[in-house]
Structure 1
Amino acid sequence: MKLKRKILALLMAALLAVSLAGCGQTSQAPANPPAAPEAGTPTERTVTDMAGRTVTLPAEVKTVGTFGSIGVLNAFVETLSAGERLANEGSPSFVKSPTWEKYQYQFTPHIKNLKPFQGADSELLMENILAAKPDVCLTMSADLTEQLEKQGLNVVQLSWTKTEDVKECITLLGEVLNQQEVAADYLKYFDDMLAKAADLTKDIKDADKKTVVYGNVSKFSQPHVIAEWWIDKAGGISVTSEAMTKANKESLTYTLEDLLKWNPDVMFVASAAEKKEVLADARLGEITAVKNGAIYIVPRIAHVWGNRTTEQPLTIMWAMNKLYPEIVTDSQLAEDISYFYSHFFKYDFNADQLKEIMGK
């Protein structure tokens, strides 16, 4: 009897152990549980902008607002292959330009359906801005920086006063947008193109170099000092260079007498309307550029090539093609243009577009 009780007790203990083991299995975690997020993953980071300000940004910047020099800033973002992050339409002064629709809406078609962040007089449309609340606001204006910062927005201020500042801008924005590899790629491209231009023009004798005037010629104005740089890199001689150096300003106003004395071989102007005005002014009829029909409209693609833009390596090649077509042929220029926009902007121009950009 005792033996039977002992056996029964052992059987009951075994059954209880099996029962408990079964319950334990139903509460176990899956064999391959999803990986938990790493503890301490940062959600924010800081950068130092070109005004020396420390700016806190999200770990990933998904939306970008551009303020002030919208054309220049959009070109920066697009060059870094991040145009899809732009969060605003251009201001009225940009939108009314036919070239804005022609090219800007090709590169970033989504912005056509977005609201502008600035109005007709460049005033901030704060209701639109705060509704979109971009992860970062880009500007080159200390005044705009202050206004936006007061609204609790993240603002990165850029500066482009010297030629080489484009490199610092690209480097900083590569960090802001987490596009460091693209930024490094552009910097190499920039240096390679300048080296290429120097090699192409090295054998041009000073006596054979073409003289050039750039800008609003009918208004006797050279609006952007950086043109002195790209004209020189293209192997030309800017007739306004000496006066611009003396003035030490961003722009230069000269006189009809100055222009007649300089008598440039070539004119680079910003628009078809400007070219028409020059040709209609009888006082300019004896200038060599006018007599020879050497008046060329500088392209405006992401931005005006003659002004500050990441596209300026192309400006150099385009100008060289007009000054010395035997050095840079149409086919070579088309190849350079096609590569730049395909490689950085991720946009492929067709043959008709390339022909239009190059101009006559």
Structure 2
Amino acid sequence: MTPIRLLLIIALLCCSAPAAQARAIVDMAGRKVEIRDRIERVVTLGAVPVINGFLFALHEQDTLANGLPPQLARKYQYVFAPGLAGKPVVQGAEKGLAVEDILALKPDLVLTMDIATAQKLGDLGLPVVFLRWTAPEDVKALMALLAEAFDKADLARDYAAYFDAVVSRVSAWSGAALNRPRVLYVNLRRLTQPHRIAEWWIEKAGGRSVTDDGRLQESVTFSLEQMLAWDPEIMIVADQGELKTAYADPRFKDLAAVRDKRVFVAPMGAHLWANRTIEQPLTLLWAASLIHPERISREKLEAEAAAFYARFFDKALSNEQIDEILAGASER
């Protein structure tokens, strides 16, 4: 994009904007952001499926102005927001952000979890809100912030109450458990535990994460020798290909989880449940059903998932769709 063309787009954007914005909110970096009273076009950047999930929970999927990058496409994103299929893609794995295309969309709100992106686009005059999710319960603060932007505080309160109720329920189960099995959430291709939030849900669900050493980094890499020494009793993987690898690769045959057929694929709804997602309460219930199956049956888990999507995403899913999500079979 040439500097002259960029300036023309910025000028056009400024001319088309109202003389004064209706209100201001403070984002999770402490930045004051002026936004319009009525938000009709939202651009989500970076962790697009994660951010989109919050809009689904606020029943604002129709405001999404951009589509999913191919590498981040998830089948149920299109189920929860059918209009995504026809929206322009404004970021890519190789070219990064298409700034010109973002400006041309004239968004009322831009959402990102990358502070550099927030600052860059904010300097161009766009209303960019930075979202931070480091601690597990940040999901509630993030939901409350976006609910403020859309004037839907009641939905944020409802979600927070449900989140707390599930954590309390599952904590009671795990607290009464006599043993905590060794659990590993793993990317077998890279021998990493890819997301720190898994340390939280494994512990809350009644397991003992073998990678939980108090680390601060998002992911941790380890050797095959270390993995064998940990000898996890339960393994969680991200997709069906990894499940096949766990059982087919001779390097893993002596692991307790492999021997006992306790390798499981994380469910995939709006996003992968094992990672950061608005579906985190379901992650806890699902993990508890694996670690202490006497506490929650498959039938109860299915009912809980169906109720969650109906209540928070305003989407009634069929039994087949719930089964597909729980099986982790909806990857793309």
- TM-score, with length taken from structure 2: 0.89
The answer as to 2:96 corresponding to 1:123 is: yes
The residue matched to 1:241 in structure 2 has which SS? coil
Contact 2:268 2:326 in 1 (8 A): no
The equivalent residue for 1:340 is: 308
The equivalent residue for 1:193 is: 166
The answer as to 2:136 corresponding to 1:163 is: yes
The answer as to 2:328 corresponding to 1:350 is: no
The residue matched to 2:96 in structure 1 has which SS? coil
The equivalent residue for 1:103 is: 76
> Could you tell me which amino acid in structure 1 is paired with residue 262 of structure 2?
A
Q: What stretches of structure 1 move > 4 A for 4+ residues in a row?
A: none
Whole-angstrom distance in 2 between the partners of 1:232 and 1:337: 21
For residues 76-108 of structure 1, the C-alpha deviation after alignment (integer angstroms, 9 at most, x for no partner) is 11112211111110112113xxxx1x2111100
The equivalent residue for 2:293 is: 325
The equivalent residue for 1:88 is: 66
> Could you tell me which amino acid in structure 2 is paired with residue 213 of structure 1?
L
Contact 1:91 1:122 in 2 (8 A): no
Q: Offset of 1:74 from its aligned partner? A: 0.4
The answer as to 2:116 corresponding to 1:143 is: yes
Q: What RMSD, in angstroms, separates the aligned Cα atoms of the two structures?
A: 1.5
Q: Offset of 1:54 from its aligned partner? A: 0.5
Task: Within 5 Å, give how 1:172-187 maps onto structure 2.
Answer: 172-187=145-160
Contact 2:170 2:284 in 1 (8 A): yes
- TM-score, with length taken from structure 1: 0.83
The equivalent residue for 2:221 is: 253
For residues 249-297 of structure 1, the C-alpha deviation after alignment (integer angstroms, 9 at most, x for no partner) is 1111111111111111111000111122222221210111011111100
Whole-angstrom distance in 2 between the partners of 1:250 and 1:119: 22
The equivalent residue for 2:190 is: 219
Whole-angstrom distance in 2 between the partners of 1:314 and 1:215: 19
Whole-angstrom distance in 2 between the partners of 1:262 and 1:236: 14
Q: 2:34 aligns with which of 56, 70, 88?
A: 56
Whole-angstrom distance in 2 between the partners of 1:185 and 1:62: 23
Query: How many residues were matched structurally?
Result: 309
The residue matched to 2:129 in structure 1 has which SS? strand
Q: Offset of 1:43 from its aligned partner? A: 5.5
The equivalent residue for 2:256 is: 288
Whole-angstrom distance in 1 between the partners of 2:169 and 2:277: 19
Contact 2:21 2:34 in 1 (8 A): no
Among all aligned residue pairs of Structure 1 and Structure 2, give the percentage whose two residues are the same amino acid. Answer: 39
Q: 1:240 aligns with which of 211, 217, 223?
A: 211
The equivalent residue for 2:107 is: 134
Q: Offset of 1:146 from its aligned partner? A: 2.1
Whole-angstrom distance in 2 between the partners of 1:55 and 1:130: 17
Whole-angstrom distance in 2 between the partners of 1:248 and 1:127: 36
The answer as to 2:55 corresponding to 1:77 is: yes
Unaligned runs of 5+ in 1: 1-41
The equivalent residue for 2:8 is: none
The residue matched to 1:301 in structure 2 has which SS? coil
Q: Offset of 1:63 from its aligned partner? A: 1.6
The residue matched to 1:317 in structure 2 has which SS? helix
The equivalent residue for 2:199 is: 228
> Could you tell me which amino acid in structure 2 is paired with residue 335 of structure 1?
A
The equivalent residue for 1:310 is: 278
Whole-angstrom distance in 1 between the partners of 2:188 and 2:169: 30
- Judge which range, 271-280 or 55-64, deviates more: 271-280
Whole-angstrom distance in 2 between the partners of 1:358 and 1:200: 21
Contact 1:218 1:278 in 2 (8 A): no
Task: Within 5 Å, give how 1:26-41 maps onto structure 2.
Answer: none
Q: Offset of 1:147 from its aligned partner? A: 2.2
Whole-angstrom distance in 2 between the partners of 1:304 and 1:357: 9
Which has the larger share of helix?
Answer: 1
For residues 26-83 of structure 1, the C-alpha deviation after alignment (integer angstroms, 9 at most, x for no partner) is xxxxxxxxxxxxxxxx961000001111000001112211001111100111112211
Contact 1:104 1:301 in 2 (8 A): yes
> Could you tell me which amino acid in structure 1 is paired with residue 83 of structure 2?
H
Q: Offset of 1:202 from its aligned partner? A: 2.5
Q: Offset of 1:160 from its aligned partner? A: 0.7
> Could you tell me which amino acid in structure 2 is paired with residue 285 of structure 1?
K
> Could you tell me which amino acid in structure 1 is paired with residue 195 of structure 2?
H
Contact 1:89 1:112 in 2 (8 A): yes
Contact 1:213 1:238 in 2 (8 A): yes
Whole-angstrom distance in 2 between the partners of 1:218 and 1:329: 31
Whole-angstrom distance in 2 between the partners of 1:130 and 1:89: 15
The residue matched to 1:166 in structure 2 has which SS? helix
The residue matched to 1:213 in structure 2 has which SS? strand
